[in-house]
A and B are shown apart, each in its own frame.
Chain A
Amino acid sequence: MNDLNDLKLSRRDLLKTGAAAAGAAAGATIPSVAMAQAGAPAQPVNPPPTSAKTTLRVNGKRQELNVDTRTTLLDALREHLKLTGTKKGCDQGQCGACTVIVNGRRINSCLSLAIMHDGDEVTTIEGLGNPARLHPMQAAFVKHDGYQCGYCTPGQICSAVSVIEEIRAGIPSHVSPDLNVKPLLSVDEIRERMSGNICRCGAYSNILDAITEVAGVPSAGGKA
């Protein structure tokens, strides 16, 4: 009988093993796909993995990278620069966990290639503040308990900081009542603008309290 103590795999190793197995299974299906397409016009062939150089400025620091062209900005940050504060949630632009600020605008770093950001200024959660000197939005999330598991929090905070700037810059939203009037810093505006950040734990009302406090908006109480 196997002794569970012999199982030395860390959770990360186990995930890697699983991914390798899945890769092998996917590889095994290729010949049948090729057979199915025999007789069809020749499809363009994908090249072998190709790498390219790109230089980013991340949290004020210049970073030269040589990465596989397929590397997303998210993977470059996490796997190459070891800035693991930015999280990978859905990896398809639906959850917002990977939100970072590029050239002053928040984007989903999972839906962008690292090599497309040559020369760009990237701010991640690590660049907003640190445990010794929290950004006011980080402090407000702590104060208002704006999370439960915390996985979506770096993305929520990068978005929250951007939301306040976007409203101040006069960028309208779906809930702005009049397109020709500057949008207000209001609870409704903040809620709408945060919709690209999903919190599976459902900490939304506390997240809203944190943002409204930093924005100087009267309490969100009862509106959540």
Chain B
Amino acid sequence: MKAFTYERARTPAEAAAAAERHPGSRFIAGGTNLLDLMKLEIETPPHLIDVNGLKLDKIEPVEGGGLRIGALVRNTDLASDARVRRDYGVLSRALLAGASQQLRNKATTSGNLLQRTRCPYFYDTNLPCNKRVPGSGCSAIGGYTRNHAIVGHSEACIATHPSDMAVAMQLLDAGVETVRANGSTRVIPIADFYRLPGNTPHIENNLMPGELITGVVLPRPLGGFHTYRKIRDRSSYAFALVSVAAVVQKDGSGRVALGGAAHKPWRVPAADAALPRGARATVDTLLAGAKTTSENAYKVPLIERTLSSVLADAKKA
């Protein structure tokens, strides 16, 4: 690990200002992803700003019937919150499908949103990777691609986003609240938060340098049947091959989002409209323009079958 200086921030604005003072610095909360990447020197921040003391650890109701989740709410506490379990079951389920209990005890809401890809070529510092070293090339293309993206990817990067939680946040139309060094705040709709890789796969979201996530706002509950179905190589503690998050109403209408398919949680509004017509029609829209390799082509029928099973469960519920 490269050496770094360290400070504890006391307020969100102070943290954002510290980030501006220290180019290349990183905020650290749970640290479960950042420290792993620092050990491998994939991340080499010269300065860490510990944000754990910012008191952003509450879940509170907002006007209009939604919930505000503090950036530092741990994954365990978010998944266990009675309101989340009752009204946003898909979010609770997505969190519980991810990582291990030890990691969920430490990992935070904002850190989970900012998880970096688990592409093995990103992790292997001996090989070129445009996400790790911009312009160096993509080792995954032409490599072993069983776990890689099938839609929305580019010639520069075919990595997937690893988060389960973020797929549920995408489904629920969450808003990401932030603060910048000058003290200004904004809410970024999650649909505008993540970026596709294009020619700049090292830029994964639309946060400005030094901009700090302070919370996530969930709109009022949708009702309906909530589910998060994750398909993986072992039944616990593994990243998704594919996952399907869905909220389905009694009349068959609803929403669907995918994990394991793209560089970001994958949701296509027109596909939601196709849900009442069944899994095939929905997936045709969701994955229109999909480009697969011989190793990851299995994801297309797997997604369709998983969604089909989810819709059958919704009918029974």
A: which residues have CB within 8 A of B? 43-50, 52, 68-70, 72, 91-93, 96, 99, 105-108, 111-113, 115-116, 159, 162-163, 166, 170-174, 176, 179-180, 191-193, 195-197
Contacts and interface: CB of A to CB of B under 8 A. Distances in A.
A112 B6 contact: no
Contacts of B28: 113, 116
Contacts of B86: 179-180
B3 A159 contact: no
21 contacts: A44-B22, A44-B25, A46-B44, A47-B4, A52-B6, A69-B3, A69-B4, A69-B5, A91-B39, A92-B39, A93-B32, A108-B102, A111-B31, A111-B32, A111-B35, A174-B96, A176-B96, A180-B86, A192-B236, A196-B101, A196-B103
B102 A99 contact: yes
Given A47-B4, A47-B5, A108-B102, A171 B36 contact: no
B7 to A, nearest CB: 10
Contacts of A92: 36, 39
B24 interface: yes
Contact of A166 (B3, B93, B101, B106): B101
B182 to A, nearest CB: 21
Q: Is the interface of A mostly helix, strand, loop or mixed?
A: loop
Interface of B: 1-6, 22-25, 28, 31-32, 35-36, 39, 44-48, 50, 52, 76, 79-80, 85-86, 89, 92-93, 96-97, 99-103, 105-106, 236-237
Contacts of B24: 43-44
Contacts of A105: 76, 105
Contacts of B22: 44
Contacts of B32: 93, 108, 111
Instruction: Say whether chain B's binding surface is mostly helix, strand, loop, or mixed.
Output: mixed
B93 to A, nearest CB: 7
Given A44-B46, A47-B46, A196-B237, A70 B4 contact: yes
A192 B234 CA distance: 11
A170 B85 CA distance: 12
A43 B24 CA distance: 8
Contact of B101 (A50, A68, A191, A193): A193
B4 A170 contact: no
Contacts of A172: 79-80, 85, 92, 96
B102 A50 contact: no
B4 A50 contact: yes
B89 A111 contact: no
Contacts of A171: 76, 79-80
B236 A195 contact: yes
Residue of A43, A108, A170, A193 with most partner-chain B CB within 10 A: A108
Nearest to A72: B35
A50 B48 CA distance: 12
A82 to B, nearest CB: 22
Contacts of A191: 236
3 residue pairs, one from A and one from B, having the closest CB atoms: A196-B100, A44-B24, A195-B236
Given A105-B76, A111-B103, 4 more contacts: A47-B3, A70-B3, A172-B85, A172-B92
B80 A50 contact: no
Contacts of B4: 46-47, 50, 69-70
Contacts of A162: 101
B25 to A, nearest CB: 8
Nearest to A181: B85
A200 to B, nearest CB: 15
B102 A196 contact: yes
